[in-house]
Structure 1
């Protein structure tokens, strides 16, 4: 039978190894560690008609705790948020972080956010069509956008910067009947403005080839107006010729243009008027400018019955009483000399 004291060195080594293993296991169960996470920032207390500037989309956090717990954590285990509580205007707020129990928040980067909360508005803008590069003189096109306007939504301070809204057409595509292109909002310096929601973001540009227009100078024939209850004493055109433009084939058939007086006859009084003209132009013909007319009107004198003394035996019948114009030479009685 072996003695219990045999192989003592080996037994001591085994015991020491067991103690070391137990110590390491115990140390791992109570050891702490640190770990960093990237967490999205939630904006609380913001309505649909508000927008926040200056708030970070994410924050980097460092937490510490028991190693076993830290190793099981994920970014979804944390919540980073800014609480605005329906406020508006400028803000300077600390970014709050909710973290699991048993852990400790070491740092948050960035720790604060500085910016503004603004109201969101929307406005309607007409679209201006621009060609990316100038067309050649022999290429004339008429262009229209469908729809003609867009609704732009954004911060009020950004909307106030919009000078115009354009749709750009590439001249290499002018042989197409229609082109779909993006809509861009520009500031007064013709720089594109971002942070806007444009609806629709694209429009259809319809292109139609237009005939080349030629100029021609022709005479103006004024049609003298007839105005009820007035005498037209004189009419005078501001000029006797006018420049018209149109296809050459149509211009060759035109030698003169008829002009009519555009005069509002309501509440008309005697006097001198400078009025516009209405030109009789064929389809496809346009005038470069409109002449004016100086017209002098006088009122037609009213007709009044002549009062004739009644003779004896005559009835008071004025049915056939002659009528004369007052103060006219032909109706004056001859001077008897007495």
Structure 2
């Protein structure tokens, strides 16, 4: 019997790319807009600066740059792409999907392109979707992008958000492998966190021309204390669940790549899981929280650390609330 029908087929990450805008927003700048300080921000978040996209550019532009970086570094032919998934909460426009715009800008023809919106959990959701497409054997080359231009929705006077968020895009290329790849994903949402983390305006509830739109509705809003508590517990539980159902122990994990929401959250999840020192990757210090882009960008900026065969665990938490974890073998 053909091995293609008897051996387990995995979706393996075979290339990674990223892009962060050159413009920086330093903590010192934020001191001019609200009651805060460089020392307070670093202590509370671990962030020293975040990257901000130029006003004449959009989420698709960052996604394009990340994909071009991937193609150049790994000598990938974009004409071979079968599907393109963009995880974003900040699409260029309500329609068409930002993935469509990215495909057009890259000259990719007749590709299945669509967006996924699960806020900061978006990349995990999109990655599992992309893996499922490969596992069906109907798609061989799938691009999964996490990209957000979240600074557009940040009120510089709001200390609960302006210290955290920045812009960026990361991408991975998935293709079939019989040697290993994405092993499992545990993804959740409950809708109970709607009031604690949201951007209310711009949809059908509060349309752009609505007289009900205020700055409070137009900008990103969060209840930091509530989000912190749920983020730590949900990511801890998701990681514990996925390890147990795959018969792994935390000591089997070579690298934990958590959503880069806040260094204190990253540290708390690591302590809860008892992961050995140095195995939780972080890059939040100089780019901030880039929403759906944090996990692929963290992988991209730590490529020298990860070795072929390493077991990598991802975890995220975002608006919704949405959260989850995934496990894969690094095959590059």
TM over 0.5: no
From the two aligned structures, give the one with the greater strand fraction.
1
With a CA cutoff of 8 Å and minimum separation of 6, indicate the structure with the bigger relative contact order: 2
Based on CA coordinates, which of the two structures has the bigger radius of gyration? 1
From the two aligned structures, give the one with the greater helix fraction.
2
**TM-score with structure 2 length normalisation?**
0.18
